[in-house]
Chain A
Amino acid sequence: MEITSLVFLAFVGVTFIVYYLIPKKYQWVVLLSASLLFFVTSSALLTLYMLFTTAVIFFGAKGIQKYKDEFAKKKKELPKPERKVLKEQLKKKQKKILILCVAVVIAVLVLTKYCNFLGGIVNGIASIFTSTDLLPKFNILLPLGISYYTLMSVSYITDVYRGTIKAEVNPLRVLLFVCYFPHIVEGPFDRYGDLDRQFRTPHKFDYDKIRHGAILVMYGCFKKLVIADRIGFFLPKTFAKIDNYSGTAVFIGMVLYTFQLYADFSGCIDIISGVSEMFGIKVAENFKQPFFSKSIDEFWRRWHISLGAWLKEYVFYPVSLSGHFKKVNTFTKKHIKSQHIVGFITIAYTLFFVWFCNGLWHGASWLYIVYGLYYYVLMMLGKFTEPYTDKLAKKLHINKESKGYSVFQVARTVVIVNVGMLLFRSSTLVEFGKLFGKMFTSINFMDFCSIIKFQDGVVLAVGFVVMLLVGIIKEKGIDIRMWLIEHNFVIRWLVYYFLLFSTIILGAYGVGYGGAAAIYAQF
């Protein structure tokens, strides 16, 4: 069920009516039933994978909570030294459960999503000794949103282990968190504590809040159907027959693909967030005008925010506080005098894991790993050269706080991200190299017209201006939807009609009046 289809619209409509008609204490049951229906219609028997993961983290978290409660009960009666011993003993037991459960749910993800990738590595190594493949290729179907719900499940049990939340006693509430239909397709990665609190709150029918959500849904549909899907209709042909085109075409294709991916992903997230807001549930923020970023670090704090936050909480911080990290830190401190180099090495060590996981999460291929490491290398380069570029800027009397310098920084980030997107779009590293090289060697401005038809160009230009204006307003800290709701009737309805009719008339539709599949749903 595509989230831009009429079926999805009807599904949300029915759920919405039942949700607000039923007694408020059962509202979460409506969301659970709708989510399960959504999951089963998309994944059929594969739903069992999701149920298995939920069962593992539910029982695992309960086990961890049991030891926590035991300690809380006994600690008052014990003197400090014994209390410490007991704490350590019980912590070890909790850690064992955590590691086991995380290993099991990650193993399910690896076996389904990454088995052919791992098999390829084994066959590659084996090819040194034999000409036949050791491991066959498997055709494994993936359940809906496995990459998303697996990581959210890991976050739930880890949060229980860390003591930031208590283990849930009702398995159905954990199940709702795992398969909540707005965030299961392509995120965002929510935290159990944030969502469960909202699931437990009774939500009365609030017209303003519902309008607030509905505007976001309309804007998301505009971005997805008018911009992303329109580009999606002609761009794949360009990349498929790239030999027929010049480097100028590659450049335009790269920029358009970046635009498409942003409109697609952020559009879908807007739809999802808007739908969820209509139920009174706010999901995690995933985009914050990423193309206004002055650096790559900042870009990743504004693009797919919830993935970055997940990696920070569950990869970056644990690695940073691990024994390994301490060893690296102590070793570098002992042997290197420069505080800058010490800091650089230790951070480079930790961030490697983060960016490796970031790349690997996107897909089971070396290309995605390289994609993650592309940002890692650039970020590390920036970190390493920071003091030297600061000195150079001082010598050249460049004011780093000036508007001009900010524009340069934003432009630099946009270029880096676009090249990253070309890598992301390429099928192989060789293809990326070919495409990248072509941009500098074969220039033909006439190719612009051969890629984009005039009418597509006009629609995309309008879409770009709309997105830019909305971005600028949001960047100023204005809640544009609230501003619209509070504004006079004429302006408000003009905007509603613009979004609605531009999506209906200018949207690029496929068979059955449905939009194309969400790009990020495949990850």
Chain B
Amino acid sequence: METVLEILAKVKPNVDFKNATAIVDDGLLDSMDIVMLVGELNDEFDIEIQVTDLVPENFNTVDAIVKMVERLEDED
């Protein structure tokens, strides 16, 4: 959780991601930010996020991002 929050802060500073419930739907992250975030997550957790994973449900909360990362780590 903490690592994901650090990465989010690096991609887009000054946003309260911790309490956000609709990061993508509320426009806190746009598709360009998502791409940056995916690059960072891939590097940090050694996972491969696929195009099919790039849906708002996987990025709307920090919890959802963590769950996606865990699922992809498990798949490997």
Contacting residue for B52 out of A162, A316, A325, CB 8 A: A162
The distance in angstroms between the C-alpha atoms of A325 and B38, with both chains bound, is 12
Q: With A162-B51, A313-B51, A339-B10 known to touch, is A321 a contact of B36 (CB < 8 Å)?
A: no
Give chain B residues whose Cβ lies under 8 Å from the Cβ of A297. Answer: 30
Judge whether A321 and B51 touch: CB under 8 Å: yes
Are A320 and B52 CB-contacts (below 8 A) given A297-B30, A312-B31, A347-B32? Answer: no
Interface of A is mostly: helix
Query: A320: which B residues are within 8 A, CB to CB?
Result: 35, 38-39
Contact across chains for B35 and A318 when beta carbons are under 8 A apart: no
B24 to chain A minimum Cβ distance, whole angstroms, is 13
CB contacts (< 8 Å) of A347 on chain B: these are 32, 35-36
Asked if A163 and B51 sit within 8 Å, CB to CB, the answer is no
Is the CB–CB distance between B39 and A329 below 8 Å? yes
Report whether B31 and A316 are in contact in the complex, using a CB–CB cutoff of 8 Å. Answer: yes
Contacts of B64 in A (CB 8 A): none
Chain A residues with CB under 8 Å of B49's CB are 321
Contacts of B50 in A (CB 8 A): 162, 321
Nearest-CB residue, chain B, relative to A318: B51
A348 nearest in chain B by CB position = B32
**Does A293 lie at the interface of the complex (its beta carbon under 8 Å from any beta carbon of B)?**
no
Q: Are A346 and B51 in contact (CB under 8 A)?
A: no
Report the interface size class on chain B: 10 to 19
Q: Classify chain A's interface size.
A: 20 to 34
**A343-B36, A346-B39 in contact; A163/B10 too (CB < 8 A)?**
no
B28 at the interface (CB under 8 A from A): no
**Minimal Cβ-Cβ distance residue in A for B54:** A317
Chain B residues with CB under 8 A of A313:
51
Q: Does A350 contact B (CB under 8 A)?
A: yes
Residues of B with C-beta under 8 A to A441: none
How many angstroms between the C-alpha atoms of A330 and B74 in the bound complex?
Answer: 25
Complex CA gap A339/B38 in Å reads 15
A344 CA / B20 CA spacing, docked (Å): 25
Q: Is the CB of B36 within 8 A of A346?
A: yes
With a cutoff of 8 Å between Cβ atoms, the chain B residues found around residue A25 in the complex are none
B31: min CB distance to chain A, Å: 6
Q: How far is the CA of A325 from the CA of B42 in the complex (A)?
A: 13
- Contact in complex: A164, B38 (CB < 8 Å): no
Question: Using Cβ atoms and an 8 Å threshold, which residues of chain A touch B42?
Answer: 326
Of all chain A residues, the one with the shortest Cβ separation from B75 is A84
- Shortest A316–chain B CB gap in Å is 7
Question: Nearest chain-A residue to B52 (Cβ)?
Answer: A162
B39, B42, B49 interface centre (most CB from chain A within 10 Å): B39
What CA separation (Å) do A351 and B38 show in the bound complex? 16
B21-42: CB near A (< 8 Å → 1, else 0) gives 0000000001110011011001
A163 to B49: give the CA distance in the assembly, Å: 15
The answer for the CA separation of A164 and B54 in the assembled complex, in Å, is: 12
CA–CA, A96 to B38, complex, Å?
Answer: 25
Q: Which residues of B contact A317 (CB under 8 A)?
A: 31, 35, 51, 54
Within the complex, the shortest CB–CB distance from B59 to chain A, in Å, comes to: 13
Contacts of B54 in A (CB 8 A): 317
Measured CB to CB, the closest approach of chain B to A343, in angstroms, equals 5
Report the minimum CB–CB distance from A193 to chain B (whole Å): 12
A317 to B39, CA, bound (A): 12
Question: Looking across the interface, which residue of chain A has its beta carbon closest to that of B10?
Answer: A339
CB distance from B22 to the nearest CB of A (A): 16
Least Cβ distance of A353 to chain B in Å? 12
Q: In whole angstroms, how far apart are the Cα atoms of A339 and B49 in the complex?
A: 21
Inter-subunit contact A350/B51 (CB<8 Å):
no
CA distance A346 to B31 in the complex (A): 13
Q: How many Å lie between the Cα of A383 and that of B30 in the bound state?
A: 12
Contact with A along B4-22 (1 / 0, CB 8 A): 0000001100000000000
Taken together as a complex, chains A and B put the C-alpha atoms of A326 and B39 apart, in Å, by: 7
Q: A305-346 interface mask toward B, CB cutoff 8 Å, 1 = contact, 0 = none?
A: 000000011001110110001100100000000010001001
CA distance A329 to B41 in the complex (A): 13
- Counting chain A CB atoms within 10 Å of each CB, which of B11, B31, B42, B50 scores highest? B31
Which of chain B's residues has its CB closest to A354's CB? Answer: B31
Q: How far is the CA of A438 from the CA of B31 in the complex (A)?
A: 38
Task: State in angstroms the CA–CA spacing of A164 and B49 once bound together.
Answer: 15
Complexed CA–CA distance, A417 and B55 (Å): 30
Distance (Å) between the CB of A125 and the closest chain B CB?
35
User: Which of chain A's residues have a CB closer than 8 A to the CB of B52?
Assistant: 162-164
A350 touches B35 (CB 8 A): yes
The residues of A that contact B30 with a CB separation of less than 8 Å are: 297
CB proximity of A351 to chain B, nearest CB, Å: 8
Please report the C-alpha to C-alpha distance between residue A339 and residue B10 in the assembled complex, in whole angstroms: 8
Q: Which residues of A contact B38 (CB under 8 A)?
A: 320-321
Residue of B nearest to A328 (CB): B39
* 15 residue pairs bridging A and B, Cβ less than 8 Å apart: A162-B50, A162-B51, A162-B52, A163-B52, A297-B30, A313-B51, A316-B31, A316-B35, A317-B31, A317-B51, A321-B38, A321-B49, A326-B39, A347-B35, A347-B36
Residues of B within 8 A of A (CB): 10-11, 30-32, 35-36, 38-39, 42, 49-52, 54
- Given A316-B31, A326-B39, 14 more A-B residue pairs with CB atoms under 8 Å apart are A313-B51, A320-B38, A320-B39, A321-B50, A321-B51, A325-B39, A326-B42, A329-B39, A343-B36, A346-B36, A346-B39, A347-B32, A347-B35, A383-B32
Top 7 A-B residue pairs of the complex, sorted by shortest distance between their CB atoms:
A320-B35, A317-B51, A162-B52, A347-B32, A329-B39, A343-B36, A317-B54
